[in-house]
Chain A
């Protein structure tokens, strides 16, 4: 299996521009997570989906952030408009959650390093 695939790996954009990050989870996994990692705050959960449905988006910092999962094999995280403080590494992870169990292992993608100038 190719693992979780994220694109692009690096993104440099100017303040005010729209940014779209993409994620392809591991085939067969039913849960997908978006995280943000910075030196100051570490890893933060932004949103997660179960069976393509957003379950918890309390970590999404502002209305400028939105995430979609149109099908089981694709998700996007969009920032519009982007700001310099959004600069971070964004990780996508997927897991196979089984019936209310919390011990599912999340497999992380390589991340997208976003720089907003």
Chain B
């Protein structure tokens, strides 16, 4: 069964600190992996996307890495800000019957304290 596991489930850090969120997946075959940020009460917003051949992708203070061999991805947040408080969701897409099905992780809830 295709699964996406994220850790930690929740994380509290102080403003200005760095943090790293993890995503492990068993999805096979693999098409691409995307990280979303979801603010409370809103829909998810895409941060980065990586295909099989990419191993790093940056979007401002967000840097995602991918190791397709070990089926692991991480999202690193540099110099955290209060606005980074949100849920971060890892999504892996795999081909199935001519379409591409997304499999979602449960997310990591990040709280940044002043």
- Interface residues, chain A, with chain B CB atoms under 8 Å away: 4, 41-45, 48, 50, 55-56, 91, 93, 100, 102-103, 105-106, 108-111
Binding site secondary structure of chain B: strand
If A91-B44, A102-B93, A106-B46 are given as contacts, then 15 extra A-B residue pairs at C-beta distance below 8 Å, sorted by A number, are: A4-B43, A42-B89, A56-B101, A91-B43, A100-B98, A102-B31, A103-B32, A103-B49, A103-B51, A108-B44, A108-B45, A109-B43, A110-B41, A110-B42, A111-B43
Distance from A38 Cβ to chain B, minimum over Cβ atoms (Å): 10
- Report how many residues on chain B are interfacial, defined by Cβ distance under 8 Å: 24
A residues less than 8 Å from B99 (CB atoms): 48, 50, 55-56
A-B pairs under 8 A by CB, number: 48
Closest A residue, CB atoms, query B42: A110
B residues less than 8 Å from A55 (CB atoms): 99
With A42-B107, A55-B99 already in contact, the answer to whether A111 and B42 are too (CB < 8 A) is yes
CB within 8 A of B101: which of A4, A45, A109?
A45
B residues less than 8 Å from A100 (CB atoms): 98
B residues less than 8 Å from A44 (CB atoms): 104
**Contact of B106 with A42 in the complex, beta carbons under 8 Å:** yes
**Contact of B32 with A102 in the complex, beta carbons under 8 Å:** yes
With A103-B49, A108-B43, A108-B45 already in contact, the answer to whether A43 and B95 are too (CB < 8 A) is no
**Contact of A93 with B43 in the complex, beta carbons under 8 Å:** yes
What is the CA–CA distance of A106 and B31 in the complex, to the nearest angstrom? Answer: 15
Distance from B109 Cβ to chain A, minimum over Cβ atoms (Å): 10
**Contact of B49 with A42 in the complex, beta carbons under 8 Å:** no
B residues less than 8 Å from A109 (CB atoms): 43
What is the CA–CA distance of A55 and B43 in the complex, to the nearest angstrom? Answer: 23
**Contact of B46 with A42 in the complex, beta carbons under 8 Å:** no
Closest B residue, CB atoms, query A40: B106
